Amino acid sequence: MTTGVRRRMGVEERRQQLIGVALELFSHRSPDDVSIDEIAAAAGISRPLVYHYFPGKQSLYEAALRRAADELAARFREPREGPLGARLLRVMGRFFDFVDEHGPGFSALMRGGPAVGSSTTNAMIDEVRQAAYEQILAHLGVERPPARLQLVVRSWVSLAESTALIWLDGRKIPRAELELQLVHDFAALSVVSAAYDEEMAGILIRILGDEPADGPFGELVGRLVALVPGEGKVSTVGKVPAQRLR
């Protein structure tokens, strides 16, 4: 309960407050289920005053989405230091933090609906995907990615998105396992592509050469080798023969 004298906010400060309130409500329920009255009540102002700052629910939702989209895109930023596998695992941890915190809103946004079908919101979603794509390419150290690498990275970003949506529906698989599995998925997509393209094979060999045996990629190699009858454990990813990737 609010007590004392209510402080008068400036225009931009009030707008930012309403965006924050909307984001909080959208984190627990689909935007389509949240009314302007609820947003006004949570902000401690009247319904007409909300419309003073935003023409309608759609414009408020788009402003909230803009903030959320910027935050989600930032989750893919990671210092380019150390093995790629460990970096991707940290990125997936931050990505799922966001999904966990904004579940209903994230789900409604990615699956589409009346409140999110505008060209503006669709453009923001595409911006997030593009930012993720560019960040991953930067981690790979590739300025002019070949067509197969573009396909791998965009496919992986889409896979991470769909995996998060499925996970939200009941959280039936431990989150940490999915984060690691997605890093393994990136490696698997790269290996398959490398089998068809020498340029991709060269990129993959360079990546694996820097990976420690106890890293995410090293663990994947160990798991795969363990599935093959008569094969021994691989002690280090960097020792995978190049000819086996071509």
Determine the pLDDT at residue 87: 95
Determine the pLDDT at residue 119: 77
Task: Confirm if 50 and 40 have CB atoms less than 8 A apart.
Answer: yes
Q: What number of other Cβ atoms are within 10 A of residue 209's Cβ?
A: 13
Determine the pLDDT at residue 236: 47
Task: Confirm if 89 and 181 have CB atoms less than 8 A apart.
Answer: no
151/167 Cα distance (integer angstroms):
24
230/246 Cα distance (integer angstroms):
22
Nearest partner of 168 among 95, 85, 86, judged by Cα: 95
Please, what is the Cα angle at 157 between 206 and 210, to 5 degrees?
20
Determine the pLDDT at residue 65: 83
Task: Kindly tell me the burial class for residue 7, based on how many C-beta atoms sit within 10 Å of its own C-beta (0-12, 13-18, 19 or more).
Answer: exposed
135/206 Cα distance (integer angstroms):
18
pLDDT tens-digit profile, the chain (246 residues):
344 335 578 888 999 999 999 988 988 888 888 899 999 999 999 999 999 999 888 888 888 888 888 898 899 999 888 999 999 999 999 999 999 998 887 887 776 555 555 677 788 888 899 999 999 999 998 989 999 999 999 999 999 999 999 999 899 999 999 999 999 999 999 999 999 999 999 999 998 888 998 999 888 888 888 888 865 544 445 444 444 444
Residues sharing a CB contact under 8 Å with residue 227, sequence separation 6 or more, in sequence order: none
Could you tell me the two tokens for 124?
């923001």
Axis-axis angle for helices 175-194, 147-168 (nearest 10):
160
- Provide the 3-class DSSP secondary structure of residue 200: helix
Please, what is the Cα angle at 95 between 200 and 78, to 5 degrees?
60
